[in-house]
Chain A
Amino acid sequence: MVALDCPRLEGGRDHQARLTCCALAVALAVTMLMSLSHGASGVSLWSLTLGDAMPARDRLILWEIRLPRMLTGILVGASLAMAGAVMQGLFRNPLADPGLVGVGAGAGLGAVLAIVLGGMAPLWLGAALGYHLVPVAAFLGGWLSTLLLYRVATRSGRTSVATMLLAGIALGALAGAVTGVLVYIADDRQLRDLTFWGLGSLGGASWPKLMAAGPVMILALVAAPFLARGLNGLALGEAAAHHIGLPVQRVKTVAILTVAAATGAAVAVAGGIGFIGIVVPHLLRLATGPDHRFLLINAGLAGAILLLLADLIARSIIAPAELPIGIVTATLGAPVFLWILLRRRGVVDL
């Protein structure tokens, strides 16, 4: 056999990825403080240091408005980015997005149904769910469409990822058509609700909503990192992943459930917020490589930061009014994404 005394091996990017993780954690802490201390009501960070001496009104604003909003932002941003990274690993495609597997389409359809037909819901249902009707419908829509696709794509215990992708696209088109019909019959107020919901916002964040959707997102965020080794192996293809000893079918099942839970819950509380799931993992892959052991966690952190920043912009740019956050993420995200694509293809050499 060939020479066995070897120099230190180059080519691992673990160290870089760990440093990035620390940097992102610090950045998240800073962003959280910024998010808490900015707002329409002029309560500043300084009042935080006053402790008990803080005026009651300020405490109310911080505790009842900004804190739940910030926490919702963190969970939604982390969920969207991590779900994107898991989805891309599962489909072995850096452009895959939860929107593609029909989770987004299903959740959107659920929400639209609730907004337009919500008035017709039986009284007991309306009473039980109250203003949770839309988020609950969105969550159910996301889950049901995922389960449907999963059933369609699974034959005798094996899930075909390609079939699921294609079926997801078909389901997305179908959901779009139904949504179109509903938009057609909606009245003016409902149309406005639809538009705002579709663009996404953290404006509706509150403790009760956070209590309902938060645990689902936290569960998904905790589960996702356990998929790291499996997703790394899947990069070699399913057969090779099996041969290096991975329980491939279990990895796929858990990945799909995780994505459905994270995306369904995030869309339910914050509406349709695009680009986080694609842009964040993509940028991180460029920076520290595709190793999912770091990518998933870093994507969660970076997604949270990005969404908090987008929310800050959304509520300060035309203060005291608010922009839908989806507009901010799209205006920032889309050009960045296009730029990455151009650069990667070597069309723009920067």
Chain B
Amino acid sequence: MLVAEDIRVVLGKAAVLHGITAEAHAGEVTVIVGPNGSGKTTLLRALTGDVGFRGRVRLNGRDCSELQAWELAALRGVLPQASALAFPFTVAEVVRLGLTAAVHADRGDLVARALAAVDMLGFAARLYQELSGGQQARVQLARVLVQVWEPVVDGVPRWLFLDEPVASLDIAHQLDVIGLMRGFAERGGGVVSVLHDLNLTAMVADRVWLMDQGRLTGQGSVTQVLTDEALERAYGCRLRVGCLPPAGGWFALPQAVGGQGT
């Protein structure tokens, strides 16, 4: 279980997070949604210790601030919103970096399996810097995946923290990644991910955290949190949510174009 207790972050002179208390469970996909600048990335960075914060983060019952880098690395993989790479490594070499602290055996074909999972196996020998933006994003995801390939080790769940993992992907690969998130959770791991697409969120999320201006304004299942009123309040535009008749798939439909209209 992931527990965040009263997380407060100040960046520069501005308070960016005003006391976030939330929890996420292993075996579930938790999705953080909210408008640009609402503090999703900052919250994720606080949860992973990348930004100084007041409050406390517990992962599997242990206070994160008391764990060493290698202990945390064995427990969770983290995909940042943007990634850079300094030298001309090949795709395979980049993904192999994810095994730096790997405690588990069977390293042999993990890199290949992770690359296959993000549909990048054919690019293993290519230079990372010569890939397209979406391809680079998929390689970075593979690097994070190899790190926590087994969702549960010795009965202890492992975690994926993903900041907009599908932002630059085409629709097919978005669905692939959504599938990977689901699969990881169904096999016992925990996933906490920022997503912008509400419809993808509805497909994958067991639990949603709705962020608005540095506050958590909703926490619960998709239908509990993502209501017409809550979305209009957060995003300032009119959306209709509903369920498609046959399978009951949840959807959110924009009601107008542009901020000034209607």
Q: Which residues of A contact B (CB under 8 A)?
A: 1-4, 6-7, 9-13, 89, 92-94, 229, 232-237, 239-240, 242-248, 285, 289-291
Q: Among A89, A245, A285, point to the contact of B100 (Cβ < 8 A).
A: A245
Q: Among A229, A244, A248, A289, point to the contact of B147 (Cβ < 8 A).
A: A244
What 0/1 pattern do residues 70 to 84 of B give for CB contact below 8 A with A? Answer: 101110111010011
Q: How far is the CA of A243 from the CA of B93 in the complex (A)?
A: 17
Q: How far is the CA of A7 from the CA of B112 in the complex (A)?
A: 8
Q: How far is the CA of A93 from the CA of B84 in the complex (A)?
A: 12
Q: How far is the CA of A247 from the CA of B49 in the complex (A)?
A: 14
A9 / chain B contacts, CB cutoff of 8 Å? 92, 109, 111-112, 115, 124
B73 / chain A contacts, CB cutoff of 8 Å? 243-245
Q: Among B69, B112, B119, point to the contact of A242 (Cβ < 8 A).
A: B69
Q: Is B97 interfacial (CB 8 A cutoff)? A: yes
B113 near A235: Cβ-Cβ < 8 Å: no
Q: How far is the CA of A245 from the CA of B48 in the complex (A)?
A: 12
Q: Is B90 interfacial (CB 8 A cutoff)? A: yes
Interface residues of B in 44-70 (CB under 8 A from A): 48-50, 68-70
Q: Which residues of B contact A (CB under 8 A)?
A: 48-50, 68-70, 72-74, 76-78, 80, 83-94, 96-98, 100-101, 109, 111-113, 115-117, 119, 121, 124-126, 143, 147, 176, 180, 183
Across the interface, name the chain B residue whose C-beta is closest to A250: B69
B98 / chain A contacts, CB cutoff of 8 Å? 244
B109 near A6: Cβ-Cβ < 8 Å: yes
Distance from A131 Cβ to chain B, minimum over Cβ atoms (Å): 42
Q: Among B83, B97, B112, B113, point to the contact of A232 (Cβ < 8 A).
A: B97
The 10 closest A-B pairs by CB, nearest first: A245-B101, A245-B73, A11-B92, A290-B87, A92-B86, A11-B124, A11-B125, A10-B125, A6-B112, A245-B70
Q: List 16 A-B contacts (CB under 8 A).
A: A1-B183, A9-B124, A10-B92, A10-B124, A11-B91, A11-B93, A12-B90, A12-B92, A12-B96, A233-B100, A237-B80, A239-B78, A243-B78, A245-B72, A247-B70, A289-B90
Known: A11-B93, A245-B100. A2 touches B117 (CB 8 A): yes
